[in-house]
Amino acid sequence: MGEKAKGFFVTGDPLIYGADVSIIITLLGILIFLTYFKKWGWLWREWLTTVDHKKIGIMYLVSSLLMLFRGGVDALLMRMQLAMPNTHFLQSQHYNEIFTTHGTIMILFMAMPFMFALFNIVIPLQIGARDVAYPFLNAMSFWLFFFGALLFNLSFVIGGSPDAGWLSYPPLSELAGSPGPGQNFYIWGIQISGIGSLATGINFLVTILKMRAPGMKLMQMPLFTWSVLSSCITIIFAFPVLTVTLALLFVDRFFGAHIFTATGGGNPMMYVNLIWMWGHPEVYIVVLPAFGIYSEIVSTFSKKKIFGYKSMVFSMMIISVLGYFTWVHHFFTMGAGADVNTFFAITTMAIGIPTGVKIFNWLFTMFRGRITMTQPMLWTLAFIPCFLVGGATGVMLAAAPADYQYHNSYFLIAHFHQTLIGGVVFGYLAGLYYWWPKMFGFKLNDRIGKWAFWTWNIGFYVCFMPQYALGFMGMTRRVYTYGWDMGWAPYNMVSTVGAFLMGIGFVFQVWQILYSIKHGERDLTGDPWNGRTLEWSILSPAPHYNFAHLPAVKSDDAWWDMKNHRYGAAVQDNIKEYTPIHMPKNSGIPFLMSACWFVAGFGLTFEWIWMGVAGLAGVGICLLARSFQRNTDYYIPVDEIKRTEASLGRVV
Amino acid sequence: MAQSAISVDAHHEHQHDTFKLLGFWIFLVTDCIIFACLFAVYAVLRTHTDGDLTGRELFEVKGFTAETFILLASSFTSGLASLAMHKGSKKQLLGWLAVTVLLGLSFVGLEITEFANMASEGAKITTNGFLSSFFTLVGTHGLHVSFGLIWMIGVMVQIGRHDIDSLTKEKVTIVGLYWHFLDVVWIFIFTVVYLLGVM
């Protein structure tokens, strides 16, 4: 291998060589499979060029589960390194890279796409629409995310991973502190996928505002739809800040500017302020939809209308606004002064109020309800105590003077994992189990699901409760090893055992999915849970155009109302004549344009200007090509609708 | 269903036109936040000259005043273009768009000259925090204008091909909105960067 190649490919670590081999084998496997079964055309027509929100949702879902695996492996490697004192399993440099990629991947390439998967799969169905407001843009968002994630993950085997922490604080992340391409991978991977996230925020906001079924008023929208609305508003206000922050870091590194540098008049703490102006709203962006999911599930499986609908809506909107005024609590130790710290301590604690309102609403919904213990309900029930403890430790951290003690200790690590796993991941998994039959037409196996649930949950507490204690004992985050004299060994060992239990839980889930594809209970009714909202009024999986007739909504819990109060009228609606349905055409441009972004990002990462310019020129050409397109949509003829509805078993 | 399915569908299609405009307004909100952040960064770093020249010594009143008048004029001509469009006069529409593009080009040309002059005096992006934030803020605006120029020329070609129809009308409206937005941002740059800089 030549000298140049040595710098290009990451060498010297057996773990990396193992990854190289497995990546090559997987790629070869995919290529051979596609060629042998002649699936290339199918892949292009059905997936790479699709603008169907349901398919885009499934692609988001698959990518996010893959990223959950990658981020999970990172976590297990860290826990193995920390299980015992003085371990030499990972070098300090490798450990830095792993905690950096673990955080970045879990938030930006796992939680965000998982959330977008649920947006895509559920929102148009839930509001009775046939697609999102901008289907083309929706496809572009996905491919931008995909290629951004690809670029970020490439750093693992080419050029070297970023190693300056998941938010890459300068001056460490500046050229002087991180000279290699790793930090550039970070900037461009996130920047490219971030543009996609921003576009999704705009897309779903307009979808919800403009495309609701006739008759559905704002205050009749399902709570998941409300949660997505509030999340999108937060995206629209927070993500531009991320774009600017990363761009400025790039300007520093690429042009040698002094915006965040420690010398030449730069100000590193400005980066920390800016990144958390995005970073804190970001945690609300991901948790609000989870709140929406819990609301749907609690109401469905308690067979009751949600308790306190209006207060639910208001508390979500308050959270999305208040979430923008708490960012300084991530660095009380900056020394902004008592007045500033007091302001942010109060706003942070105030967020506990609307959240508490929501918890009580869920509890009161269950009170005297006829509860069925399905898998989605199990995850919801596990969420409540878990999030409560996570919230309480959050209030502890919000007490600014005390925070000087907890800051950057394992207490913090335990806190945010408790809210992000107990709140966000449990929520998305609950949503996955809940809407899985709508996506694929079958339920996920119950028995294996319960094994997964219990190993995940027990594993969670075994893993993170000791970390609160470790924080009090003085263990700081990001240490790669410690001595016997610290007294941390037993707690760390227990924590590692818990992490592996969660890993086993994930394996159970993979097994559960594979098993259920073959043996899962088919959903022939389209309404397997006796649901309340419109997505359950059509068959599973939903036809390409979702609704043959747009539903007419007269109340909240629209489908429940149709089923129980005006069934006759609903049937009358269904036997009306079909009319041709207006749909967007597939397009290859989102894929190609995002691929061009990838080329540009890769070029700029290695500072190969010719490649960066070529990629950006490609992006420009794609934009112009799209601007010049005129026939971007078509009509589905009545015959085809009749055939589809009949093949799905619906009487025509 | 209260209405017949046909009227419901027609109703939805009709609204598709306003979707794009609404989406673009929301996009402008995000772009506004991008500029707000850049302004905040500039406000923090304005005095961080690291012992080097300040804005008072660097900014040339003639240059930035000319830039301002040219961009304001281009915003006016883009308004005239949209008036011509509503009258249905393709010739006038293309004419005013061409004037707008020419004014935009001269704005970008002046800005490049200004940057080059500053750089030749040793005031580069690498010099200090103040200049880094100056070039980033003003340069981002300049990039927006350049992007808008390519976009506007693209729209002109489409009008040439397809005349004024609902699709090209929408495109002219949106690119016009973008152009006015850049004008508003420039007024803030003129005030916050240049006027406060030379005062």
B146 has a chain A CB within 8 A of its CB: no
CATH no. of B2-198: 1.20.120.80
Check residues A634 and A421 and name the one with the higher pLDDT.
A421
Count of CB atoms situated within 10 Å of the CB of A565: 12
Interface of B with A in 62-91 (CB under 8 A): none
Q: A244: which chain B residues are within 8 Å (Cβ-Cβ)?
A: 34, 37-38, 41
- Is B91's pLDDT higher than 50? yes
Longest dimension (CA), chain B: 74
Shortest distance, CA B21 to any CA of chain A (angstroms)? 10
For residue A377, the model assigns a pLDDT of: 97
* Mean per-residue pLDDT, A120-127: 96
**The pLDDT of residue A301:** 97
Give the model's pLDDT for residue A156: 85
pLDDT of the residue at A274: 97
* pLDDT of residue B172 exceeding 50: yes
Alpha carbon distance, N-terminus to C-terminus of chain B? 66
Is A617 at the interface with chain B, CB within 8 A?
no
Q: Which residues of B touch A551 (CB under 8 A)?
A: 1
- Residue A542 phi/psi, 5-degree rounding, is -65, 140
- Assigned token pair, B163: 């005349």
Cα angle: A66, vertex A71, A77; to 5 degrees:
130
The half-sphere exposure of A425 on its side-chain side, counting CA atoms within 13 A, is 23
**How many angstroms away from the CA of B172 is the closest CA of chain A?**
12
Q: What's the whole-number mean pLDDT along residues B126-148?
A: 96
The Cα-based distances of A629 to A28, A588, A633, B151, B154 in angstroms read 36, 12, 10, 14, 12
Residue for token pair 């539903």: A551
Structure tokens at B102: 């020419």
Contact criterion met (CB below 8 Å) for A142 and A590: yes
Domain count for chain A = 1
Q: Quick one: pLDDT band at residue A7, thresholds 50, 70, 90?
A: low
Distance of CA A640 to the CA centre of its chain: 35
From the CB of residue A423, how many other CB atoms can be counted at a distance below 10 Å? Answer: 23
- Determine the residue type at B46: R
Residue A136, min C-alpha distance to chain B (Å): 12
Residue A24 to residues A18, A91, A156, A157, A234, Cα–Cα distance (Å)? 10, 25, 14, 11, 40
Q: How confident is the model at residue A15 (pLDDT cuts 50, 70, 90)?
A: confident
pLDDT attached to residue A573: 64
Nearest to B172 by CA among B63, B61, B76, B83: B83
DSSP symbols for A288-357: HHHHHHHHHHHHHHHTSPPTTHHHHHHHHHHHHHHGGG-GGGGGGGG---HHHHHHHHHHHHHHHHHHHH
Which residue in A365, A428, A413, A422 sits closest to A389, CA to CA? A422
Which chain B residues contact residue A550 at CB under 8 A? 1, 5, 8-9, 12
Q: Closest-CA residue in chain A for B46?
A: A265
Residue A409 β-bridge partners: A476
Nearest to A517 by CA among A445, A438, A435: A445
Confidence of residue A649 (pLDDT cuts 50, 70, 90): low
Look at A258 and B132 and tell me if their CB atoms are within 8 Å: yes
% residues pLDDT > 90 (chain B) = 80
pLDDT higher at B2 or A258: A258
Domain with A41, as residue range(s), is: 10-47
Cα B194 from Cα B129, distance rounded (Å): 17
CB–CB contact B9 A579 (8 Å)? yes
Mutate to test the interface with B, among A130, A134, A202, A534 (most CBs of B within 10 A): A202
CA geometry: angle A416, A417, A421, nearest 5 deg: 120
**Could B22 and A206 be called an inter-chain contact, meaning their C-beta atoms sit closer than 8 Å?**
yes
* Mean of pLDDT values over A117-141: 96
Please write the tens of the pLDDT for every residue from A497-528: 999 999 999 999 999 999 999 998 888 888 99
Q: Which helix (H) or strand (E) holds A633?
A: strand A633-636
Is 60 exceeded by the pLDDT of residue B14?
A: no
Q: What is the pLDDT of residues A175-218, one digit of tens each?
A: 999 998 999 999 999 999 999 999 999 999 999 999 999 999 99
CB within 8 Å of A94: residues ≥ 6 apart = A13, A15
Task: Give residue A652's pLDDT.
Answer: 40
Give the three-class secondary structure for B105: helix
Q: Which of B127, B129, B167 sits opposite A259 (nearest CB)?
A: B129
Q: Does B166 touch chain A (CB under 8 A)?
A: no
Mean pLDDT confidence for A17-37: 84
Give the residue-averaged pLDDT of B13-40: 86
| Amino acid (1-letter code) at residue B69 | F
Q: What is the pLDDT of residue A571?
A: 65
Cα–Cα distance measured from residue A513 to residue A602, given in angstroms and rounded to the nearest whole number = 35
Among the residue ranges A607-611, B4-8, B53-57, the one predicted with the least confidence is B4-8
Three-state DSSP at A608 gives coil
Question: Above 70 in pLDDT, residue A564?
Answer: yes
User: Is A244–B38 a contact, with Cβ atoms under 8 angstroms apart?
Assistant: yes
- Asked whether residue A576 carries a pLDDT value surpassing 80, the answer given is no
One-letter amino acid at A112 equals M
Predicted confidence band of residue B18 (pLDDT cuts 50, 70, 90) = low
Residue A482 has which token pair? Answer: 């410690």
Task: Name beta bridge partners: A584.
Answer: A633
Lowest-confidence pick of A14-23, A359-368, A499-508, A513-522 = A14-23
The residue of chain B with its CA nearest to that of A259 is B129
3-class secondary structure per residue, A239-260: HHHHHHHHHHHHHHHHHCCCCC
Q: Which residues of A touch B171 (CB under 8 A)?
A: 627
Domain ranges of chain B: 2-198
Cβ pair B126:A258 closer than 8 A = yes
Q: Flag whether pLDDT at A292 surpasses 60.
A: yes
pLDDT of residue B16: 55
Cβ of B9 and A582 within 8 Å?
yes
Residue in A321, A275, A220 with CA at minimum distance from that of residue A557? A220
Residue A137 has pLDDT above 70, yes or no: yes
Residues of B in contact with A205 (CB under 8 A): 26
- A25 assigned to some structural domain: yes
- Identify which has the larger pLDDT, A396 or A9: A396
The pair of three-digit structure tokens given for residue A225, joined into one six-digit string: 């739809």
- Residues of chain B positioned with their CB less than 8 A from the CB of A627: 151, 154-155, 158, 171
Residue B7 in contact with partner chain A when CB distance is under 8 A: no
Q: Which helix (H) or strand (E) holds A466?
A: helix A446-472
For residue A27, name the pLDDT band (cuts at 50, 70, 90): confident
CA quadruple A505, A424, A58, A451: dihedral, nearest 10:
20
pLDDT at B11 over 50: no
Q: Which of residues 264-303 of A touch B (CB under 8 A)?
A: 264-267, 270, 274
Instruction: Please report the pLDDT score of residue A569 as a whole number.
Output: 66
Q: Give the residue from B33, B158, B165 with the most A CB atoms within 10 Å of its CB, the best one to mutate.
A: B33
The residues facing A522 across adjacent strands are A442
Report pLDDT digits (tens) over A165-182: 999 999 999 999 999 899
DSSP annotation of A484: G
Q: Is the pLDDT of residue A619 over 60?
A: yes
* For residue B83, pLDDT beyond 80: yes
* Beta partners for residue A636, in sequence order: A581
A35 belongs to a structural domain: yes
Nearest CA in chain A to B154: A624
Q: Does the beta-carbon distance from B30 to A550 stay under 8 Å?
A: no
Task: Decide if A578 touches B, using CB distance below 8 A.
Answer: yes
Q: What is the pLDDT of residue A572?
A: 64
Mean pLDDT on A291-320: 96
The pLDDT value given to residue B176: 96
* Per-residue pLDDT at A650: 56
Q: What is the mean pLDDT of chain A?
A: 92
pLDDT in tens, A40-58: 888 998 999 999 999 999 9
Average pLDDT over residues B78-107: 96
d(CA A385, CA A399): 22
Cβ–Cβ contact A214 with B under 8 A: yes
Within a domain: A403 = no
Cβ contact, residue pair A240, B30, below 8 Å: yes
Prediction pTM value: 0.94
Q: Do B34 and A240 touch (CB under 8 A)?
A: yes
Task: Give the distance from residue B39's alpha carbon to the nearest chain A alpha carbon, in angstroms.
Answer: 11
* Chain A to chain B Cβ contacts (< 8 Å): 139
